[in-house]
Chains A and B, each alone.
Chain A
Amino acid sequence: MTTAWRNRKDRLASIVVRAIAFSTVGIVLAILASLLLEGRHVLSWEFLTQPPSDGMTEGGIFPAMFGTVCVTMLMILMALPLGVLAAIYLVEYAGRGRLARLIRAGVNNLAGIPSIVFGLFGLGFFVLFVGRGLDRLAGNELVFGQPAMLWAAATLAVLVLPVIIVATAEALTAVPRSHREAAFALGATRWQVVQRVVLPQAWSGILTGAILGVSRGAGETAPILFTGCAFYLPRLPVAHLTVPLIGVSIPMVNPLDQFMELSYHVFVMATQSADTTKTRPIQYGTAFVLVALTFALNLTAILLRTRLSRRVVRS
């Protein structure tokens, strides 16, 4: 083989590899372009602020957006403390013990479970076992033992738990060991080191994990299919709580209610609504809003992480 031929082969191969690699850019652009082109006619302020009307063939997606925000907030409230504290234990306290290895294996395992299995688990455990169990204890008719936002959020929380644990553990590990040793040398206890030295440096990494968790949770559909999503609800999942004595009623999100959700809305509108062809523009518009939401979240996380890694390199 001549050198000229070898060089030509080298150039050709790198062009082919680059071309295939850039097809990922093509995929992202194709998806975004089709959503935007087909959905642009319905995208408007009314679309974002109005409920669906005329048997879901007209109107907007406000209840679905509201439900998505509520369920992901409830989810992160459950998953974030649990995940961050578990990660602090694993990185700062556990060492290489047997129990720590077991917990790490468990977290890895959790991350690999298909999302539909979480759906089965959410229905079998949260709704039917915990929910019905609570009802039996309280001796009431179905209050807890049916699909509700609370159970959907709990199921999603289990799903995003490994995301948060892994991100937090990474952020904690990135804090240089020398900083901890300096604090120990000054006589700090382990918790003081964690609280005053490690966490202040790790918070943006933890925040990145939380944002990625929210975006993951907002995009998932399979785990909530059976645990709380509704096809259509004429009202928001809001209950009015009357404060005793003053008599003021405060509207509150009711976690025992069912709810509409963006990703589920895309699914049912595209496959199960009365006239799927007629409502295509609404489907494209809804999908676009969902993608825009998750992209905004992911971009924030990516930018935060880039900033974080620059800072770690500098120190």
Chain B
Amino acid sequence: MGEWLLEKFLLLNGIVALVLVALIFLFLFREAGQALARIPFSSWWGAAETDFDGNAVYVHMWQPNGSRPKYSLIPLLLGSFLVAIPAVLIAGTVGVATGIALAEVASRRTREFLKPIVELLAGIPTVVIGFFCLATLATVLQNFFHTTYRLNAIVGAFGVSFVVIPVIASLVDDALRAVPHSLREAAYGMGATRWETIVRVVLPAAVSGLTAALILGVGRALGETMIVLMATGNAAQVTLNPFVSVRTITATIAAELGSVPKDGDWYQSLFLVGAVLFTITFLLNLLAERVVDRMRRKLAL
């Protein structure tokens, strides 16, 4: 009887974890649904507006606080991807190289030095990285690229890449270590050098692990908040130029939620923005999981 009660009590704790996920989903999408119901659907794309000369123009603006509030998600989505894509390009290069170094190239002593450093990088609070970008890195990069805006998408991308590098590096490390030694030995036996073995045998065998690492990196980059809030300048504009100030999905929520009235369109529209972010990262995580499952099945054969 006591054992039975105990097991049910432990189960209850597990269920609480599940309920919390359900509650997050519920509360996010409840408010987002309200926003969808109250704000016309075309507003999320853009709005008709008259410019200063009286001409009718169609604008994509995020400006929920004006007398005629505008809720276009376009500048926010563009801003998020303008930061996330360069960030993952940087972090992908450094992270994959670090993963290869950890799993294949480095001596045992180098590995025992490098691995904790990568973990320490992962442990730096994002607000500190954001501050480092804002105070130090932005000036360095402005002098290097000669940009008009001191805070721009590229500064944010560098900052975000510092967070994504450890994620990608440890996933790549794990994926490469899962490749059976017999494959490497076969390549060496045929006279391949270590580099040839890595490029032609190990990396192709671990390709799904690498893909999953990059996908999770994109998800992490899109969800990063404090760094982009502090380092990208926060101007919501429609642009494809990474050297101007942008405003991401996450920074919009972080900057605006504190000051809005706790009911009404603006408040709910921020939950919709959050729901969009949640959906994107959820799908990316799901995709990465599928890819990893495929790798497990392939290597088990």
Q: Which residues of A contact B (CB under 8 A)?
A: 6-7, 9-10, 13-14, 16-18, 20-25, 27-28, 30-31, 34-35, 38, 81-83, 85-86, 88-90, 93-94, 99-100, 102-103, 106-110, 112-121, 123-125, 128-129, 158, 161-162, 165, 189-191, 215, 218-222, 225-226, 263-264, 266-267, 270-271, 280, 283-284, 287, 290-291, 294-295, 297-299, 302
Contacts and interface: CB of A to CB of B under 8 A. Distances in A.
Contact of B196 (A6, A25, A112): A6
Contacts of B69: none
A24 B250 contact: no
Given A114-B277, A116-B223, A297-B123, 14 more contacts: A10-B194, A24-B165, A28-B117, A82-B16, A106-B22, A109-B21, A113-B223, A113-B281, A114-B225, A116-B250, A116-B254, A128-B262, A225-B258, A287-B128
B13 interface: yes
Interface of B: 2-3, 6-7, 9-11, 13-18, 20-24, 27-28, 31, 93-94, 97-98, 100-102, 105-106, 110, 114, 116-121, 123-132, 134-136, 162, 165-166, 169, 193-196, 198, 216, 219, 222-226, 229-230, 250, 253-254, 257-258, 262, 270-271, 274, 277-278, 281-282, 285, 289
Nearest to B24: A121
B250 A114 contact: yes
Contact of A284 (B27, B135, B282): B135
A-B pairs, 4 with minimum CB distance: A114-B223, A219-B125, A21-B101, A20-B97
Given A86-B10, A106-B17, A112-B285, A20 B226 contact: no
Contact of A226 (B105, B110, B219, B257): B257
Nearest to A302: B116
Nearest to A162: B17
Nearest to A189: B3
Contacts of A112: 216, 219, 281-282, 285
26 contacts: A9-B195, A10-B195, A10-B196, A17-B97, A20-B98, A21-B94, A24-B98, A24-B114, A24-B166, A25-B117, A28-B120, A34-B132, A86-B16, A94-B14, A109-B21, A112-B219, A112-B282, A119-B254, A161-B17, A190-B3, A215-B123, A221-B226, A225-B258, A263-B128, A267-B229, A299-B120
Nearest to B280: A114
A72 to B, nearest CB: 12
The A contact surface, by secondary structure, is helix
A123 B94 contact: no
Contact of A27 (B27, B97, B162, B271): B162
B192 to A, nearest CB: 9
Given A6-B196, A31-B132, A121-B23, A221 B3 contact: no
A89 B98 contact: no
B119 A125 contact: no
B135 A109 contact: no
Contact of B17 (A110, A116, A280, A295): A110
A18 B253 contact: no
Contact of B257 (A120, A191, A218): A120
The B contact surface, by secondary structure, is helix
B230 A271 contact: yes
Contact of A298 (B123, B135, B270): B123
Scoring A24, A109, A119, A158 by chain B CB atoms within 10 A of each residue's CB, the highest score goes to: A24
A128 B271 CA distance: 14
A120 B3 contact: no
Nearest to A219: B125
B117 A220 contact: no
Contacts of A271: 134, 229-230
A17 B132 CA distance: 26
A92 to B, nearest CB: 8
A138 B133 CA distance: 47
Scoring A7, A129, A270 by chain B CB atoms within 10 A of each residue's CB, the highest score goes to: A270
A291 B136 contact: no
B285 A109 contact: yes
A24 B126 CA distance: 16
B278 A294 contact: no
Contact of A106 (B21, B110, B223): B21
Nearest to A192: B3
Contacts of A107: 17
Contact of A31 (B10, B124, B278): B124
Nearest to B270: A120
Contacts of B194: 10, 14
B135 A14 contact: no
Contact of A9 (B124, B166, B193): B193
Contacts of A6: 193, 196
A116 B225 contact: yes
Given A24-B98, A124-B271, A190-B3, A82 B13 contact: yes
A18 B106 contact: yes
A187 to B, nearest CB: 13
A266 B128 contact: yes
B81 to A, nearest CB: 15
A260 to B, nearest CB: 14
